[in-house]
Amino acid sequence: MHDGGPKVDFSGDRGVTSSGSPGACRICGNASGNLAHFPREMMFGWDEAFEYLECRSCGCLQIARIPDDLEKYYPRDAYYSYQRPKEKRQPDWLLRLRHARSRHYLGEASTIGALFGRLSRRPERFEWLRRGRITLDSRIADIGCGSGRLLLKLQRDGFRSLVGADPFIEADIDYGNGVRILKRGIEELEGEFDFVMLHHSFEHMPEPARALRALRRRVVPGGTVLVRIPVSDSLARRKYGVNWVQWDAPRHLYLHTAKSMRRLADDAGFDILEIAHDSSAQQFASSELYVRGVPYVEHGRYKPGNGPRAFSRGQWDAFEREAAELNRRGEGDSACFYLRPR
Ligand SMILES: [Zn+2]
């Protein structure tokens, strides 16, 4: 597919002020001093460039014009989030232990839960949920959930009220265990929820302000919204420019900063409770491979232990250490924004 090297050298990309003006920021309205950038489609290596605007005021990167044929960039046979997960069946005794462990993670005293929790690392999903005021009966929604992999895990963890929504699945899915996935977008979703999550779906939405206002209507007072997104006020974005893996043109329509998210949250009636960075080694490994012109679909085999080695074990460990350090400093390239209705 690729020929081993980038066709155009974009390293050191600082953006250009294109002929005329790149236009006004669709988040904050600023029209002065905005820059244009031209990242390429790199997931499949289609070698097509797209214009993005970088707002000089709020820092948000945004695609200049949403392609009319956006669906073309989400091929159903290749795009990972649509693949239906395998149904896992676990014995009742194991499920009971898992439920006790969940109650323990959610703050309910339980000796069995504490003991079982010690046998494994706390799954990341409980990091997200502990910021909400959650019980196993809380109403939880996952927006842009693909086929609902995370909701199925939560079901096995003992959560009882789980709904997913994704406008791009083929049809509604009822797993028959209480988990339902609806083929619809946030604006068509009905009902009220205690915890609504968007895991790397918000950056794909063409109208983020509208989406946040719709979320505001779906979450109860005292409830929590988690928006997990790539963030462009990050070291990896500065270091790699248009080869930054999370740019993902043209699928990522908006790449926010803390400032642009504050603005959106405020306008929609939310306070930001916390911003927790959760970037990984991938911000370096995949961006380095983009610099070399390797499309994302080929990156899996470059992981340590898989096929050809792009990075030594030592380099990979260094990427992981640097990611952890950046997350501590708030400069990793992805973050969890926890919002609460005002
Ligand atoms: Zn702006």
Find the 229 Cα to ligand 1 centroid distance in Å. Answer: 17
* HEC string for the chain: CCCCCCCCCCCCCCCECCCCCCCCCCCCCCCCCCEEECCECCCCCCCCECCEEECCCCCCEEECCCCCCHHHHCCCCCCHHHCCCCCCCCCHHHHHHHHHHHHHHCCCCCHHHHHHHHCCCCCHHHHHHCCCCCCCCCEEEEECCCCCHHHHHHHHHCCCEEEEECCCCCCCEECCCCEEEECCCHHHCCCCEEEEEEECCHHHCCCHHHHHHHHHHHEEEEEEEEEEEEECCCHHHHHHHHHCHHHCCCCCCEEECHHHHHHHHHHHCEEEEEEEECCCCHHHHHHHHHHCCCCHHHHHHHCCCCCCCCCCHHHHHHHHHHHHHHHHHCCCCEEEEEEEEC
Q: What pLDDT score does 1 carry?
A: 32
Q: What pLDDT score does 29 carry?
A: 96
Q: What pLDDT score does 310 carry?
A: 80
pLDDT reading at 15 higher than 70:
no
Find the 259 Cα to ligand 1 centroid distance in Å. Answer: 9
Find the 248 Cα to ligand 1 centroid distance in Å. Answer: 20
Find the 269 Cα to ligand 1 centroid distance in Å. Answer: 19
Q: What pLDDT score does 71 carry?
A: 86
Q: What is the pLDDT of residues 204-260, one digit of tens each?
A: 999 999 999 999 999 999 999 999 999 999 999 999 999 999 999 999 999 999 999
- Has domain 123-341 been given CATH number 3.40.1260.10? no
Find the 60 Cα to ligand 1 centroid distance in Å. Answer: 6
Closest CA to 249 of 16, 45, 9, 27: 45
Q: What is the pLDDT of residues 50-104, one digit of tens each?
A: 999 999 999 999 999 999 998 899 887 766 556 677 777 889 999 999 999 999 9
Q: What is the pLDDT of residues 264-305, one digit of tens each?
A: 999 999 999 999 999 999 999 999 999 999 999 888 767 666
Q: What pLDDT score does 4 carry?
A: 34
Mean pLDDT over the full length of the chain: 89
pLDDT reading at 150 higher than 90:
yes
Q: Higher-confidence residue: 251 or 131?
A: 251
Find the 98 Cα to ligand 1 centroid distance in Å. Answer: 45
Q: What is the band of 333 on the pLDDT scale with cuts at 50, 70, 90?
A: very high
Q: What is the band of 5 on the pLDDT scale with cuts at 50, 70, 90?
A: very low
Name residue 199's beta-bridge partners: 228
Find the 56 Cα to ligand 1 centroid distance in Å. Answer: 7
Q: What pLDDT score does 185 carry?
A: 93
Find the 260 Cα to ligand 1 centroid distance in Å. Answer: 6
CA distance 252 to 138: 31
